[in-house]
Amino acid sequence: MIHDIITNPYVIQIFKAVLVFGAVLQIVPGLVYFERRIAAWIQDRVGPNRVGPLGALQPVADVIKLAFKEDITPDGADRWIYRLAPLLVYAPAILAFTVIPVGLDTQAAHFDLGIVFLLTVGSFGVYGLAFGGWASNNKYSLIGGLRASAQMISYEVALGLAVISVVMTAQSIDLQVIVQQQYSAGGTLLGLHLFGFDGFLSWNVFRQPLAAIIFLIASFAETNRLPFDLPECEAELVGGYHTEYSSLKFATFFLGEYVAMLTMSALMVTLFLGGWHMPWLDVPAVMGDASIWTILISIGIFTGKLTFLLFFFIWVRWSFPRFRYDQLMHLGWKILIPLSLGNLGLTALGGILGWNWLIPLPF
Partner 1 sequence: MAHDHDHDHDDGPAEPKGPGLAERTYFVPLIKGLANTLHHMFRVDANTQHYPEQRRAPAPGYRGEHRLKRDELGREKCVACFLCSTACPAHCIEIVAEEAPWSDREKRPRLFNIDMMRCIYCGMCEEACPCDAIELTPVFNIPSRTRGEKIYDKERLLSN
Q: Which residues bind partner 1 (CB under 8 A)?
A: 38, 41-46, 315-316, 318-320
Instruction: Give the three-state DSSP class for 182.
Output: helix
For residue 178, give the nearest of 116, 236, 108, 220 by alpha carbon: 116
Q: How far is the CB of 42 from partner 1 (least distance, A)?
A: 5
Select 72 or 335, whichever has its Cβ closest to partner 1: 335
Select 51 or 119, whichever has its Cβ closest to partner 1: 51
Give Cα 157 distance to the centre of its chain.
16
Going from the C-alpha of 115 to that of each of 85, 109, 128, the distances in angstroms are 25, 12, 21
| Strand pairing category for 188-189 and 192-193 | antiparallel
Select 293 or 320, whichever has its Cβ closest to partner 1: 320
Select 120 or 327, whichever has its Cβ closest to partner 1: 327
Select 17 or 39, whichever has its Cβ closest to partner 1: 39
Select 48 or 199, whichever has its Cβ closest to partner 1: 48
Residues 6+ positions from 163 with CB-CB distance below 8 Å? 115, 119, 211, 215, 271
Tell me the one-letter amino acid at 79: R
Is the CB of residue 260 less than 8 Å from the CB of residue 125? yes
Q: Count Cβ atoms below 10 Å from residue 342 Cβ, excluding itself.
A: 12
Q: How far is the CB of 343 from partner 1 (least distance, A)?
A: 16
Select 17 or 56, whichever has its Cβ closest to partner 1: 56
Instruction: Give the three-state DSSP class for 278.
Output: strand
- H runs (alpha helix) in the chain: 2-7, 9-42, 58-67, 79-97, 114-122, 125-135, 139-170, 175-184, 204-207, 209-222, 234-237, 247-272, 283-287, 292-317, 325-329, 337-353
Q: How far is the CB of 208 from partner 1 (least distance, A)?
A: 18
Q: How far is the CB of 46 from partner 1 (least distance, A)?
A: 5
Q: How far is the CB of 41 from partner 1 (least distance, A)?
A: 4
Q: How far is the CB of 327 from partner 1 (least distance, A)?
A: 11
Q: How far is the CB of 44 from partner 1 (least distance, A)?
A: 5
